[in-house]
Structure 1
Amino acid sequence: MGGNQTQSQFVLLGITDNPCLQVLLFELFLLIYIVCLVGNVGLMVLVWTVPSLHTPMYFFLAHFSFMDACYSTVISPRMLMDLLMEDKTISFAGCVVQFHGFAFFVTSECHLLAAMAHDHHVAICKPLLYVRIISSRVCWQLVAWSYFIAFLSALVFTACTFGGSFCGHNHIDHFFCDATPVLRLVCSDTRLSQLVIFIFVGFNGLSTVGIILLSYIRILHTVLTMSSAQSRSRAFNTCTSHLTVVSLFYGTLFYMYLQPASSHGSQDKVASILYTVVTPMLNPFIYSLRNKEVKRALVKLRRRISNRGQNQRAVAAQE
């Protein structure tokens, strides 16, 4: 892969070359990244430590938070460093690794969102069979399948993006190594690479969206037939957070990767910031603020920590 390339490094042009604006963006994005890590890692810890959240729904949510934290970490630290440093060079290998990690975690999220939609569908449409259908083994299989498909897809994306001849200039007009700006630097014909990327993005995106839409069509049909208003409200509350995340994630993703190469422009950076920086920060809050079980679990965890602290102080006072 990339055996015929003549570039040993690239230069990331970043978001802006205005020094004052770079400082402001550094402070803003650093805050967002810290909140992203605290929110996603905190949600993972909450799910793992509170027994009432040891269910398939929160099992998937913990893995989703892990993916959010990881793919934000693939992008944000390098972006923050470039906002402060004059030297914005990145090695060819570093660029490949960054793009592969990004492609892997983003594709994983697509398939995990589909698995979460299937979980909601079974929970609402087939509640009596839920425990048998969504068993612990099935949960692990769905997560493993998400990672496996994502790994294979990321290999294809990376090979198509970096497999050409880089014999021209080495300035990437972006703040990370993404497929479209990197392919602009390739001297050889990239039409086949772009077609393969388009097909794989379409397959991963449209297949998972299809599963999500089919799941929610069945959920909507089941909810509308419920006689109890309370049951309908509970079902809608269960799905609202997931649908919000799906809309944010797929909206920007399809805008970026399912449009012709000639349509890409400076607005791509804004869209990229939304799904690489902002969305991973929002996801844990979308799920926690609208979820009563997560709120109750958080209160229990606070009480447990508080009681443990009081006991330790009492023991120290007695000594």
Structure 2
Amino acid sequence: SQVSCFKLNGCASPLHCLGLQCYGVFLQMLTAGWGKVECHRVFNFLWEMSNLARKVQTVVSSKPGSARRLELRIRLYCRRVLLSPGSRRSDSAFWLTLILKPWPTVSQARLLYIIFGPVSVRDGHVVWQKMIEGPTDETSLKGLADAIKLLYGTEAREWTADDVISLVGELSVVPQKWLMENNARLLLLSGNSICFNFMASKAVNGRVVELARLMVFMALVCEKDRYCMDWVVKMMQNVCNVFSTPWNRNNFLRCLENTFAHMHVAMLRAALSGELDEEDSRFLNLFHLVNAQASFHKEILYVAMGNNGSTT
């Protein structure tokens, strides 16, 4: 504890310092084979020694980005010391649970974004506007998706499926409501089970319009990122089975087709408005949406013809 670079605020240049990484490796070797009770005591000691509770309280209750240096230091300390690269999944799930569980879901989402969200390549600070300013790529979402899968897995027994689904829901409005495309991409990266349960919860709660928009954006993401479109169709079939009545299911399908139509009109208007240059993305987005709808309906036709063929 006397080595300055092993402390949360000890190093003048934490982004480029190896001190926390070495500390994390040392901690990983020290606690290898220890029971949960002993590891919990170690966590409590580190938490108290670094005064992390007060510092985390500061960043989760402040305006995002208003304490950028503190956000960065918390991120680096958690990732390099407590969640040291190379740790077993069960160990990472254990430490991440200890970090997140004391806080309410809203604060958990903020903290998860601070630790695993996208950062600036220039100074390492958390980029809070990334998910609300425009579509982002897999790289910016991979850390969050991996953390969600870790909490949802069998290694994190303290988390129920509802806990994780609620956390994903809160995450999608940090710091403001995300673009639906980014929300869809995060769900796709988080895996089938999380994706289905998230969408099924919307079906059960009657949020059909929102569910239809999410499904359309999943088709769009699959088209852009070159995933198999039959995955979206299978997900749609599974979600349809959640609805309790044929009317509810058909209402969802109507909303789905209406959403495709409304998005076509909106994107076409955006593409035709104003002057365009060679790098304008509005026509490209429309192109992707048209292809996504065509591929989506093609897969539905394959399913329909296959079903018809099996009954004749």
Query: TM-score, structure 1 length as denominator?
Result: 0.28
Bigger fraction of residues in helix: 1
Higher RCO structure (Cα 8 Å, ≥6 apart): 1
User: What TM-score, normalized to structure 2?
Assistant: 0.28
